[in-house]
Structure 1
């Protein structure tokens, strides 16, 4: 159910490659639906309990309301009833699983490790939260002995995996609707560490206070812990970071990786140097050829929805990013300003995701948006949530400490491209951000800017 979601479509692809019959349903047609059908999946548009008739097992995510009639019918049917993560773990149970966990950076880190393994002639299985440009895939059942998977903490589903080794990139307050508070999140990550093979690697970022706390817990269990980062006490040091409009370059030095200069194409921002270092240490632990791995990254083409370029209109460049947490918004806008390279102004278009997150982080979102020159805030993408009275996109826009003429709250989704075009001028850079459907506006924003420029 919800077969075209980023995680569910990855699972469906792997099951299809296993030779299983896969059916599913989705709210609307999409390129993902078309792609799954081409692989042999039966995909219905719309939801109905009748979809269960020919199925042996029902697979779901917590994004689906437990009150949905199809969900209720499945639960009452007596058929096997599996969360997506449990089904994925079963589909990859014969593989050595490398898990990438953390509040931020999972998709980029996973993608870099997969590309490195493929360049080294290993055919890894993988499940990623975005499509790799190199292959156009977000998942694959490989012939190699290991699998690389994103371990999602949002709903606790990473506690259904049993990794042979894992990285924790960072730990921050997020998904409090599921974890309650920050201590609840740390408890979940502690349980995740408990599930890692006692002989396996626990890799953590020394620059993040939350990840350092998890490293301390892992050490208390006698686990093999390695840290990385720019901090002086990191086991694997990252230094001389140079961010460019189209890449990030840095030097890494430490046990297992030696000392080497690394360039990663398509990914920008200093935080990407940390993600690449995590992938490099994991690659070393897997026995991959690091020279080959690093060479493959110099031509890395990126991941969909990770500072993804969407062209130029009227001299205005348009990008999209999946950033949806205040820390991610700040990192994305900082990187965007570096890519702007002084040619114009930075216009941030943010679609908040879920009412609860908006309510919890309104102040932090507003502070992050001040990195932009012009802040455009859309209304909330609700996902599975019911509205919270008084919580809208204006909850954030009213707190943004920029001059009033540089803050725009636009509750109408369809009106956003024209509102952006009204304020954009040649040399500016627009970046859309959020978990919802804001990325679908990129082409319209580009075209509106082109049309406005032509009119002037």
Structure 2
């Protein structure tokens, strides 16, 4: 491809990752995004020509246009201009497949844990000297200031985002699935549609491999509901990860008896902060630098994938003991008067519950957990209000910010005040959304040894960084 390629919505995490990968291949890149950011600044450093007005973009000479799902009906005019000039138009998922088409691909899907698990697989392959192509929907030191890079190795590792259904195009050689939970129901409308999409992603009838964390209730539900119709393609292999306590019900016996030569089953158990698993009659233990059962189970998915690539467990375990983590996933921002300030991207009830439980357990002997929560999107808040409120009950002190709209139109009757009947009113404070004013309220309750957790997918991190930058 001679280029240039135009990326619409280049400031998004997925689109910017693809742009960096194109630059690695020396493809000229032009970008459009409404706002400047650290992401777009770095792209400009690498030579990207950036436009903030979509009408000003010159289309002459453009070889291809790549767009994300954030580019929608509001941009019909530019889509019409592109089509009139017969310029190929590709969704970001299609463009990614063009970039990795000559490598063996490893996709990571799931309602939660995609970014962490993708980073774990990428770290293992990188430290084993395999130089993979990587696309991660988060900021990690593995890639410095970018989310994607082209590697010269055999493998390409990337996240498969289910939010808009395009992950069904990712028929990768290795398909990893961490869990299935109620999310993006604004797109799927029903739980049944969501589960069917994930079942299709697993691809039992497509050559390749699937690694499933089968102890997850969502994955178990899909397998149990569909086991009679599941037929393995002859060149397909399934790795099932199950807890030692899990009951092998009829669905598992059926799969095991019919496809035992095409299956690997790994049993695990978790004690304190350690995960133990057995492979080929050898017992191994996995520990990570980050607290939480979800990190350990994500790690098991990653090292099982590595195992299927021929990397022995002891190597993966040693590498993951130094897991580098991802920005905005239990990221420690600093300390203020003996209070640890942590930022986390969690915005779905399951994610919220996991991070609160992990930090409460970690800090139980030291102090209280203060949670500044910023609800993400009006639609998600409306759909999951009860579940969101329930997941926040573990906080010792709860501070609720106004809803972060992410560009959505407000919904009548839906606001942070909607949580009021569902949370503990004695420890809940509603914040104004003005950082300095809000922190005056929060600081009065913080004591040495406490944790202040900034939680949400919007700009809630700003409350933590402001506190740290304005220390007494």
> TM-score by structure 2 length?
0.87
Whether 2:153 is the aligned partner of 1:176: answer no
Q: What is the CA distance between 1:52 and its match in structure 2?
A: 4.6
Whether 2:449 is the aligned partner of 1:427: answer yes
Residues 231, 183 of structure 1: alpha-carbon distance in 2 compared, 3 angstrom cutoff:
farther
Q: Aligned to 2:23, what secondary structure does the other structure show? A: helix
Residues 418, 160 of structure 1: alpha-carbon distance in 2 compared, 3 angstrom cutoff:
farther
1-structure distance, mates of 2:406, 2:83: 25
Q: Which residue of 2 aligns with 1:306?
A: 329
Q: Which residue of 1 aligns with 2:47?
A: 40
Q: Which residue of 2 aligns with 1:277?
A: 300
Whether 2:78 is the aligned partner of 1:56: answer no
Alignment gaps of 5+ in structure 1: 244-248, 452-456
Q: Which residue of 2 aligns with 1:252?
A: 277
1-structure distance, mates of 2:283, 2:77: 55
2:370–2:453 contact (8 Å) kept in structure 1 = yes
- Alignment match of 2:468 (pick from 411, 426, 446): 446
Whether 2:105 is the aligned partner of 1:97: answer yes
Whether 2:133 is the aligned partner of 1:112: answer no
1:262–1:294 contact (8 Å) kept in structure 2 = yes
Q: Which residue of 2 aligns with 1:412?
A: 433
1-structure distance, mates of 2:72, 2:38: 24
2-structure distance, mates of 1:69, 1:410: 38
1:66–1:72 contact (8 Å) kept in structure 2 = no
2-structure distance, mates of 1:394, 1:152: 31
Q: Which residue of 2 aligns with 1:220?
A: 230
Residues 423, 2 of structure 1: alpha-carbon distance in 2 compared, 3 angstrom cutoff:
farther
Residues 417, 29 of structure 1: alpha-carbon distance in 2 compared, 3 angstrom cutoff:
farther
Q: Which residue of 2 aligns with 1:7?
A: 14
Q: Which residue of 2 aligns with 1:19?
A: 26
1:179–1:185 contact (8 Å) kept in structure 2 = yes
Whether 2:199 is the aligned partner of 1:193: answer no
Which residues of 2 match residues 381-396 of structure 1 at below 5 A?
381-396=404-419
Residues 277, 173 of structure 1: alpha-carbon distance in 2 compared, 3 angstrom cutoff:
same
2:65–2:89 contact (8 Å) kept in structure 1 = yes
Q: Aligned to 1:68, what secondary structure does the other structure show? A: helix
1:169–1:205 contact (8 Å) kept in structure 2 = yes
Q: What is the CA distance between 1:76 and its match in structure 2?
A: 4.9
Q: Which residue of 2 aligns with 1:246?
A: none
Q: Which residue of 2 aligns with 1:376?
A: 399
Q: Which residue of 2 aligns with 1:344?
A: 367
Q: Which residue of 1 aligns with 2:172?
A: 163
2-structure distance, mates of 1:115, 1:354: 32
Q: What is the CA distance between 1:74 and its match in structure 2?
A: 5.2
Q: Which residue of 1 aligns with 2:141?
A: 133
Residues 29, 339 of structure 1: alpha-carbon distance in 2 compared, 3 angstrom cutoff:
farther
1:190–1:214 contact (8 Å) kept in structure 2 = yes
1:346-395 CA distance string (max 9 Å, x none): 01111111111000111111111111001111111112321111111221
2-structure distance, mates of 1:442, 1:63: 28
2-structure distance, mates of 1:39, 1:423: 45
Q: What is the CA distance between 1:231 and its match in structure 2?
A: 4.6
2-structure distance, mates of 1:26, 1:260: 47
Q: What is the CA distance between 1:50 and its match in structure 2?
A: 2.0
1:241–1:270 contact (8 Å) kept in structure 2 = no
> TM-score by structure 1 length?
0.90
Whether 2:162 is the aligned partner of 1:153: answer yes
Q: What is the CA distance between 1:34 and its match in structure 2?
A: 2.1
1:110–1:128 contact (8 Å) kept in structure 2 = yes
Residues 2, 330 of structure 1: alpha-carbon distance in 2 compared, 3 angstrom cutoff:
same
Q: What is the CA distance between 1:199 and its match in structure 2?
A: 3.2
